[in-house]
Structure formats: structure tokens, C-alpha cells
């Protein structure tokens, strides 16, 4: 198996960089959100003890690694699979000013409030690491200073590092090594009274609308890299800083640095999407996004000889 972990200081563009790198490498990406979904599917709605968290996560990942190379982008991923040869650990850092600025933008805070909340978030993460991993540490194979590098440039560096390590040539985890590793993990989990059910795994893409699948097929035909529902952009927050409204574009085209939203619905919903896209552009002016309206999509479909599905 081949694994790339992307850890980052809070305030660095970790998820965006990880998605771009996973697309370029053809690795399956697991962010913190996707990992949480896999943990619930595997163990049900239970509170996993922090001391059992590494074994619980690895029990899922080693099964995925039997069929896919993985790119991990969640806190603590760099401390997993120590001793495995085909693991590349990337760490993202940035200047304090850049991290504060990114945090201001993401959470819509003024500078003083962003500094306070960022410091609190750092302390919370440090406490989490201590609880889950104790005194474990591991040096990264590559540190990228994102003050001077865009997410796209950082993804290029990660791809180059993976190629230098010949990760794409690694076989998947299988046979006796997989069986032994899973057995050891199950023993650890059993000591905490936890039994995996073997349900979590790499899922095929499930599109929300047939038009999205048609659009993905069209991109594949012309060998245009894409990521489905790449990330959610917070648009509104409560007074306590909780996200109350967010927007998730349908696609991201990393080679074009472009988000695409397909709209083939009734006018009332189109109006609401237009409002969200307008607000997204106001909050995140550096984000490129294009809406494809129903007529635009039909023109594409008929131009390339694909029958539209409604």
C-alpha cells in the first residue's frame, strides 16, 4: 500500500491542498469529515475512547489499503502506520500572519478575535494529540511553507515527492501481512470492548442528480481531472461562530482551478443558488466558480452527443 499523510498547522490550506494532491496522484482521499463517516459506519454511534482511536482508524484504513492507495488529511494521520515503508508524511506550515489571515477569512472574524480563537484551537488540538497519542512524535518527510506556495503549487510538490519515492509502484496491503495487522488491531480494540463490523470501505461516487453523472462522464472522456463536491464554504455564522449556512459546489477542476455548479432545476432554486454563489464570491474573492445553467448544460450534452437525463 502507499499512504500520503498531509498534516498542517491550523490556518494552513490543508484540505484544499490535500484534495488537489489526491487528484493528481489518483489516491483515495480521507478528510476529517469522511473519516468521521467511516468510523460511524464501522462502529456505530458510539464514543470511541481516545486511547483506542488510532487502532479504530487503522482498522478501517488497512482494509481500504487492500484496494486503494490513500491520502490522509486529518489531525493525527501523520502518526499512523509508523514503520510502514511506503508512507510519505507532508507537513504544511505558514507565518503567524498568514495563518491568522486565513482564519479571519474562513470564520469571518476581525484580527483580534481570530488570534484568540486560533490560539484556542491550537491548544485544543495539542490536548487531543496528547490524549490520543501520548508522547509520540514523528518528523515529516517534507515541510511546505504555504506562506510562499499556493495550494496548487504545494500539491505539485507532494506529487513530485511521491514520484521520487516511487509510491505509485507499491502493491496493495494484502495476504498474511494484512491478516496479521488486522488481528493485532482487533486485539487492541477488544481490550476497549470494541468490535469492528467490517462495513466501512471506499465507496463509489453517488451523484445527487443524473446531470452530475453525465457531466463527470464528459470530463472523463476529455481527460479533465475533477473532484465531486470538493469542499463546503461557510457563508453565515452564528454569534458563537457556528456555521449556519454553507455552500458545496458540485465539482472542482484542479487543472483549471475552477469550481463548477450545475443548475438544472426550477427557477426558485436557481435564484437561491445564485444568491449563495454571489455571497461566496464576496466572502472568498480568490475562489473561481462558474454556474452552468440548464441551457448551458443542454448545449454541452447535445454538442457531444449525450442524451440529457431529467
Asked if the structure places residue 201 within a domain, the reply is: no
Q: Is residue 169 part of a domain?
A: yes
For residue 290, tell me if it sits in a domain.
yes
Task: Indicate the residue among 160, 190, 220 that finishes a domain.
Answer: 190
What tens digit of pLDDT does each residue of 182-218 get?
778 888 888 888 877 765 556 556 777 777 888 888 8
Model pLDDT, residue 265: 60
- The position carrying cell 488537489 is 20
Among 162, 190, 218, where does a domain finish?
Answer: 190
Q: What's the rounded Cα separation, in Å, for the pair 170 and 230? A: 27
CB 215 within 8 A of CB 262: yes
Examine the domain organization and report whether 138 and 51 are in the same domain: yes
Quote the CA–CA distance of 292 and 273 in Å, as a whole number. 11
Flag whether 66 is in a domain.
yes
CATH (domain of 278): 3.40.960.10
Confidence of residue 120 (pLDDT cuts 50, 70, 90): very high
**Do 33 and 157 fall within a single domain?**
yes
pLDDT for position 160: 95
Q: Which of 113, 90, 76 is nearest to 20 (CA)?
A: 90
Res 310: pLDDT: 37
Same domain, 18 and 149: yes
Domain count, the chain: 2
> DSSP character for 170?
P
Q: Tens digits of per-residue pLDDT, 33-77?
A: 888 888 888 888 878 899 999 999 998 898 888 788 999 999 999
Is residue 103 domain-resident? Answer: yes
d(CA 149, CA 92): 10
Quick one: 221 and 294 in the same domain? yes
Residue for cell digits 467490517? 198
Closest CA to 84 of 2, 189, 18, 29: 2
Q: Do 182 and 215 belong to one domain?
A: no
Q: pLDDT-based confidence at 173, cuts 50/70/90?
A: low
Do 185 and 259 fall into the same domain? Answer: no
CA distance 71 to 4: 5
**Percentage of the chain modeled with pLDDT above 90:** 31
Considering the domain architecture, whether residues 126 and 264 belong to the same structural domain is answered as no
DSSP symbol at 261: E
Q: Is the pLDDT of residue 102 over 50?
A: yes
Residue 309: the pLDDT is 40
pLDDT at 176 over 70: no
**198, part of any domain:** no
Q: What is the pLDDT of residue 303?
A: 61
How crowded is the C-beta side of 64, counted as CA atoms within 13 Å?
Answer: 24
Q: What is the pLDDT of residue 266?
A: 59
Cβ(70)–Cβ(61) below 8 Å: yes
Between 279 and 202, the higher pLDDT residue: 279
Tell me, yes or no, whether 175 and 219 share the same domain. Answer: no
CA proximity to 89, closest of 78, 80, 98, 101: 78
Question: Above 80 in pLDDT, residue 179?
Answer: no
Within this chain, do residues 185 and 236 fall inside the same structural domain, yes or no?
Answer: no
Q: Are residues 186 and 219 in the same domain?
A: no
Q: Is pLDDT at 292 greater than 90 in this prediction?
A: no
- Stretch 276-299: mean pLDDT: 84
Domain extent at residue 285: 210-303
pLDDT in tens, 149-163: 888 899 999 999 999
Residue 141 has pLDDT above 80, yes or no: yes
Q: Which of 271, 289, 164, 292 is nearest to 230 (CA)?
A: 289
CA distance 230 to 53: 26
Task: Supply the CATH number for residue 89's domain.
Answer: 3.40.50.300
Whether 79 and 158 map to the same domain: the answer is yes
Residues 142, 144, 150, 153, Cα dihedral to 10°: -30
**Is residue 239 one of the residues assigned to a domain?**
yes
Amino acid at each position: 500500500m502507499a499512504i500520503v499523510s498531509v498534516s498542517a498547522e491550523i490556518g494552513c490550506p490543508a484540505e484544499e491542498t490535500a484534495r488537489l494532491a489526491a487528484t493528481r496522484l489518483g489516491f483515495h482521499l480521507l478528510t476529517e469529515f469522511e473519516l468521521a463517516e467511516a468510523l460511524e459506519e464501522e462502529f456505530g454511534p458510539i464514543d470511541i475512547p481516545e486511547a483506542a482511536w488510532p487502532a479504530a482508524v487503522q482498522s478501517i484504513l488497512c482494509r481500504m489499503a487492500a484496494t486503494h492507495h490513500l491520502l490522509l488529511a486529518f489531525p493525527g494521520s501523520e502518526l499512523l502506520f509508523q514503520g510502514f515503508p511506503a508512507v510519505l508524511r507532508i507537513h504544511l506550515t505558514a507565518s503567524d500572519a498568514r495563518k491568522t489571515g486565513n482564519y479571519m477569512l474562513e470564520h469571518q472574524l476581525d484580527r483580534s478575535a481570530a488570534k484568540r480563537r486560533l490560539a484556542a484551537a491550537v491548544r485544543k488540538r495539542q490536548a487531543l494529540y496528547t490524549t490520543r497519542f501520548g508522547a509520540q512524535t514523528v518528523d515529516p518527510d517534507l515541510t511546505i511553507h504555504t506562506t510562499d506556495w499556493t495550494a496548487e503549487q504545494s500539491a505539485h510538490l507532494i506529487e513530485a515527492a511521491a514520484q521520487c519515492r516511487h509510491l505509485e509502484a507499491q502493491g496493495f496491503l494484502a495476504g498474511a501481512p494484512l491478516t496479521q495487522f488486522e488481528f493485532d488491531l482487533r486485539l487492541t480494540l477488544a481490550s476497549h470492548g470494541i468490535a469492528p463490523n467490517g462495513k466501512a470501505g471506499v465507496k463509489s461516487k453517488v451523484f445527487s442528480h443524473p446531470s452530475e453523472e453525465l457531466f463527470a462522464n464528459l470530463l472523463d472522456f476529455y481527460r479533465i481531472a475533477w473532484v465531486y463536491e470538493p469542499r463546503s464554504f461557510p457563508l453565515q455564522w452564528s454569534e458563537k461562530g457556528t456555521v449556519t449556512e454553507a455552500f458545496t459546489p458540485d465539482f472542482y477542476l484542479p487543472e483549471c482551478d475552477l469550481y463548477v455548479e450545475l443548475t438544472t432545476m426550477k427557477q426558485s432554486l436557481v435564484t437561491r443558488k445564485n444568491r449563495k454563489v454571489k455571497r461566496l464570491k464576496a466572502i472568498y474573492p480568490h475562489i473561481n466558480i462558474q454556474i452552468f445553467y440548464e441551457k448551458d448544460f443542454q448545449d454541452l450534452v447535445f454538442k457531444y452527443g449525450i442524451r440529457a437525463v431529467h
